[in-house]
Amino acid sequence: MIVTIKNDEGEFLFDISKIEDATKKQEAGVIIQKVGTLSTTIEALDFASRTHRANLEQLLMECEEAKVEQTETEQSDS
């Protein structure tokens, strides 16, 4: 498996399958899985958050009785 690392020093490619130390190879595999899981979780949470915000906005826009007029001071504070 090829992994790309980008940092302040540049971009580096590593072939995990070429790691000779079995412990380091296994650790690299575990870390790659964790990063993949976290990336998927972040994407799912972002999607869920955007969906809930859109649902809340739609619900509130249908509730005319809940609308509050902003005063001039509140508008200038924003």
As given in the structure block, the two tokens for residue 2 are 């090829």
Average pLDDT over every residue of 2-6: 96
Q: Is 62 helix (H, G, I), strand (E, B) or coil?
A: coil
pTM over 0.85: no
User: What confidence tier does 76 reach under pLDDT thresholds 50, 70, 90?
Assistant: low
Is the pLDDT reported for residue 70 higher than 90?
no
CB 2 within 8 A of CB 14: yes
Higher per-residue confidence, 77 vs 45: 45
- Helical ranges in 20-71 per DSSP H: 22-61
Beta-bridge partner residues of 5:
12
pLDDT digits (tens, 9 = 90+) for 6-51: 999 999 999 999 999 999 999 999 999 999 999 999 999 999 999 9
CB 35 within 8 A of CB 43: no
